[in-house]
A and B are shown apart, each in its own frame.
Chain A
Amino acid sequence: MLIKIHKKSDPLSSEITNESVYKARRDFIRTSSTLALGGLTGLGALTASLDTHAVTSQDTHPGKKLSNYKEKVRTVDEPLTPFKDVTHYNNFYEFSTDKEEPAIVARDFNPHPWSIKVEGEVAKPGTYQLEDFIKPHTLEERIYRFRCVEAWSMVIPWVGIPLASIIKRFEPTSKAKFVEMVTLYDPQRMPGQKRAVLDWPYLEGLRMDEAMHPLTILAVGLYGVELPNQNGAPLRLVVPWKYGFKNIKSIVSLRFTEQEPINTWQATNSREYGFYANVNPEVDHPRWSQARERRIGEFLKRKTLKFNGYEEEVAPLYASMDLRKFF
């Protein structure tokens, strides 16, 4: 096993701006200066911030390096979103409803020790320490698109384990039709839970075939380091063809059920959020369009892809379903 010792002076791979990002930013600057000439000087100049953003971003808390993972098991031909943006712009209502605050509020959150309860329709229920939960598996790097229901998106290099191989270990019974996951509930450590913005604890679920799909992973890291607290340390779900809110963070339990779980956002507003939450440009959120999205770091909005670009692999899961009804 090769363990690379990271010197303080070594740049993180995340700190080096990818060439295509760099070029895109140059183009962007050109666009924005044209805008400025067009008489929108003030606002045009403001967007210049996009250019400097990635170049100057340096994170103060890159977590512990993960070693011994299979690199790029899965990738996309699109530039990665800088580490700083992935870790300083995200939703995690357990810490704050603001997208920049989780990085600050979660700074002192200690995700160790951590245990995961496996229950419901399984042959081997039990409570497992995180280390034991992960140990039997090989970590894999999976570079996926990430699309938030709020119409912004990123490309994130996750490190994790296919959920299917974890589930198989616990031997779900024939009654297991769904898997339900729950986030830690501890308002002392997750101060956002002190207000009833959502009905805590956060709960999400997948149909068994979705959970067993080879694209679905439980992530323990990103950019080659352990998951930062604000991104759902120490264990989170990543289902790249669904909206971000399905990707439940800081998971403490997996329960196998016969009934379809009612996920938190559906419980909050069932008109706007469903159980499936598949990325779909043809089905709008009742209050905004899902046809386009803003990729973080880009100026022009891009078209949203059906199933977030994973249509070929996942469309068969929903072959006979009306996606307008099961949104």
Chain B
Amino acid sequence: MAATQFLWRHPALVKAWIFILCLAPLGLLVWDGFHDLLGANPIEKIMRRTGDWVLYFLLITLAVTPLRNAFGWRRLLQYRRMLGLFTFFYVVLHFLNYLVLDQFFAWDEIVKDIIKRPYITVGFSAFVLLIPLAATSTNRMMKRLGKNWKKLHSLIYLIGVLAIVHYLWLVKADNREPLIYAAILVVLLLLRTRWVTRMLNNRSGQVIQQAVTRE
């Protein structure tokens, strides 16, 4: 209990801890690289791992708002920006791996891929769409854009769909994993619809009220 209270009073510490945690997947990748644990096809392995983490971070980021609504954890919102930026960070690694290690700057092949291969077209679009979101994530940009900021950042829903379609379209036959992510995304998006939030608001309102009266 004491530990929780300590953390409650020191949100910066929590934030630092989450930051380190978010770097762990990269750390593990580097570790595995140096210890020959990336298998026979390391470039493909890096592609998979960074891709997986993009999806995890995307879904975690999208879970923040519904969790806050459901449980009244207002503080979660402080970490949403960082989680979103880590999504972008892993997308950049994913793309650099494609550009440098996989294709080694074979521009003609890359252009062909982006135009001709639907799963790459979709994945690349998701990456490009994320750039303005990352660029406008500062407090100053939030203020400057005002109401438009929210509009712009609702692009993340589209990006989420594109990212999962990207995965779904690249598997050969076993689409169990992308379908699991798709199901989670659908739930996270449904939780944002008006009737669900209203329902949840009422319930969490009751929970909070009960907690307050108990105190």
A positions within 8 Å CB-CB of B: 35, 40, 42-50, 52-53, 56, 84-85, 88-89, 93, 97, 99-100, 150, 152, 195, 197-198, 268-269, 287-289, 291-292, 294, 296-297, 299-301
Contact = CB atoms under 8 A, between A and B. Distances in A.
Interface of B: 26, 29-30, 32-44, 46, 93, 96-97, 100-101, 103-104, 106, 109, 112-113, 116-119, 169-170, 172-174, 176
B93 A43 contact: yes
Q: Which 4 A-B pairs have the closest CB atoms?
A: A46-B33, A89-B40, A85-B40, A97-B174
Contacts of B42: 46-47, 49-50, 53
Contact of B172 (A35, A150, A152, A297): A150
Contact of A299 (B104, B112, B118): B104
B109 A294 contact: no
Given A97-B173, A287-B169, A89 B39 contact: yes
Contact of B173 (A45, A46, A197, A297): A197
A197 to B, nearest CB: 5
Given A88-B40, A89-B39, A287 B113 contact: no
Nearest to B113: A289
A46 B29 contact: yes
10 contacts: A42-B93, A46-B29, A46-B30, A46-B38, A49-B42, A53-B42, A88-B39, A195-B176, A287-B117, A294-B44
Given A45-B34, A88-B39, A89-B40, 4 more contacts: A40-B100, A46-B46, A49-B42, A299-B104
Contacts of B34: 45, 48-49
A300 B97 CA distance: 13
B121 to A, nearest CB: 11
A91 to B, nearest CB: 9
A287 B170 contact: yes
A268 B173 contact: yes
Contacts, number: 90
Given A287-B118, A287-B169, A48 B40 contact: no
B39 A100 contact: yes
Nearest to A50: B42
A84 B38 CA distance: 13
Nearest to A31: B104
Contact of A296 (B32, B41, B96, B169): B41
A43 B40 contact: no
Best-buried of A44, A46, A52, A296 by chain B (most CB within 10 Å): A46
B109 A289 contact: yes
Contacts of A45: 30, 33-34
Contacts of B38: 46, 49
B174 A49 contact: no
Given A42-B26, A89-B41, A48 B117 contact: no
Nearest to B26: A42
A1 to B, nearest CB: 35
A45 B35 CA distance: 11
A292 B106 CA distance: 11
A108 B173 CA distance: 26
Contacts of A299: 43, 101, 104
Contacts of A49: 32-38, 42
A43 B109 contact: no
A93 B176 CA distance: 14
Contact of A300 (B35, B41, B104): B104
B158 to A, nearest CB: 22
A287 B32 CA distance: 30
Contacts of A268: 173
A35 B96 CA distance: 12
B40 A296 contact: yes
Max chain A Cβ within 10 angstroms of own Cβ: one of B30, B32, B39: B39
Nearest to A151: B44
B41 A152 contact: yes
A89 B45 CA distance: 11
B182 to A, nearest CB: 17
Contacts of B40: 53, 84-85, 88-89, 296-297
A53 B170 contact: no
A42 B32 CA distance: 12
A289 B112 contact: yes
B174 A287 contact: no
B109 A292 contact: yes
A6 B42 CA distance: 32
A53 B173 CA distance: 29
Contact of A43 (B39, B44, B96): B96
B173 A198 contact: yes
Contact of A52 (B36, B104, B109): B36
